Amino acid sequence: MSNLPSLFSRFRFSLTINSIICGDAIRLLIFRRKLLQTKYNASFSPRQMRERRPNNAGIKRFLQILQLDMRKGNTCTWTDALLKSHFRSNGIPGKIGLFTSPHFTNERKLGIYEINIGGRWDSTNCWDDTVVCGFNTIGFDHTPKFGRTIPEIARNKAGIIKPGYLVFSVLQIFKLEKKSNLVGCLFIFINDRPFRIPNTDRPELFLKPVRNNFALAIKLADAYLKFCLNSRFLNEDIIGAVHIYDWPNRFQMVENPGTKIRFYLNSPANFLNILVSFDWFITQMQYYASVALPTPFKPRQPTRILIFGYDSTHRDVFTVARAIANHCYKFKFAFNKIILTSYKHPINGLRASETMGVWEEIYGSPVVSFAESVEDALENCSPINDLGLYMLITGYTDLVSSALPVLITGVKLKLNKFTSYNGTSGGNGIRL
């Protein structure tokens, strides 16, 4: 009983501290709301526009990038690689923090932020010391929140534009300058044929969407260097970034040297990016296989297997299968085997049969099967000839991310242990 006053005192002290913290938080939110409601004055400098605004987590500079989910993360990672390359080659100290999905706790000299869904209500709008903002191609994404037309979506996504900093964008089918003019930003469209991207042996850079991401990243990183460090990129920095760039489960290749077996993993964030996975796979086939594109009329080709899983409330199985089949037909490309699988949601026998039936009806010749998990799917893969095996694993993110640990441990595949490599010809990959 003698401890009760002490416990009560501590409890009262805790309540007092929490009340102070809560009150400060509310006052801070009200203060920030008033700041955001302030009309822009063209005579204000960027520094004056940011005066009296609270610092956040010790981060000094922020780059916000707005785009379809997979491509904005891709651009963020390219921007990270470019700045790391420049820092290393010029002996500039300091860490760079890349924030896409995970959080970080250690202080960084620079923060590169991938926005969430973008727009005026995006959580990354809390940052006050932004230097530059980038827009990738804006399409039909998050329509329940942003609208049913491209102009509506664009107007909402332009909400991340803030007074006093640069805005870059890839070429769009609509105009974004209106929003930037309202808040006093310099808006610049980048060249659709960027001359500073090196001709490297990294196959994904042959794809136009990835090249546009890289070109935008060069502009974003260059703007930071000029504004904050009074420095500029050299061509050596850009070439170095090509070898530094690494984004697990995105355009990632896993191979077993000497066995002619390669696994290609890509996690498209939404349906709009699924077809880019197939473009990349076909490009990789061209680059590594040193044979003509496979067609049903050329049986002597490496075995091509697709492991695919896609779960969407907005598109049915028929729509997805039809889009993929048409895309492959455009390139005269065919898989020898298609394995449909799931990750989180078990699929009963009837639904599996219906799904396989749709694929068989649309795709025709290849053998279509169903596996309960990605482990079972990988276990049922084997080459049909001595020319090797090329396997594309794509679909929703959880499916692809669950495949890599299986490949690394080799539990069911009985493969050798993986070791990381930083190859100059394949880029993002690991070898057995």
Q: What is the 3-state secondary structure (H, E, C) of 110-169?
A: EEEEECCCCCCCCHHHHCCCEEEEEECCCCCCCHHHHCCCHHHHHHHHHHHCCCCCEEEE
Lowest mean pLDDT across 52-61, 160-169, 270-279, 338-347: 52-61
Residue 220 has pLDDT above 80, yes or no: yes
Residue 156 has pLDDT above 70, yes or no: yes
Q: What does the DSSP 8-state code read for residue 204?
A: G
Q: Mean of the per-residue pLDDT values for the chain?
A: 70
Residue 49 has pLDDT above 50, yes or no: no
Smallest CA-to-CA distance from 302 within 337, 250, 353, 346 is with 337
Cβ-based neighbour number of residue 346 at 10 Å: 10
Q: How confident is the model at residue 116 (pLDDT cuts 50, 70, 90)?
A: confident
The residue type of 416 is: N
Q: How confident is the model at residue 364 (pLDDT cuts 50, 70, 90)?
A: low
Termini Cα distance of the chain:
66
Lowest mean pLDDT across 61-65, 192-196, 220-224, 343-347: 61-65
Report pLDDT for 367. Answer: 80
Report pLDDT for 420. Answer: 33
Q: Kindly list the structural domains of the chain, giving each domain's residue range(s) and its CATH number in brackets, ordered by start.
A: 48-244 (3.40.1190.10), 252-431 (3.90.190.20)
Strands (E), 173-246: 187-189
Retrieve residue 174's tokens: 């609509």
Q: How confident is the model at residue 351 (pLDDT cuts 50, 70, 90)?
A: low
Report pLDDT for 92. Answer: 84
Smallest CA-to-CA distance from 64 within 152, 161, 192, 202 is with 161
The answer to whether residues 408 and 249 touch, using CB atoms and an 8 Å cutoff, is no
Retrieve residue 219's tokens: 């502009």
The model's pTM is: 0.62
Average pLDDT score over residue span 179-188: 71
Average pLDDT score over residue span 252-266: 80
Retrieve residue 176's tokens: 């974004």
Alpha carbon separation from 158 to 71, 77, 149 (Å, rounded): 17, 22, 14
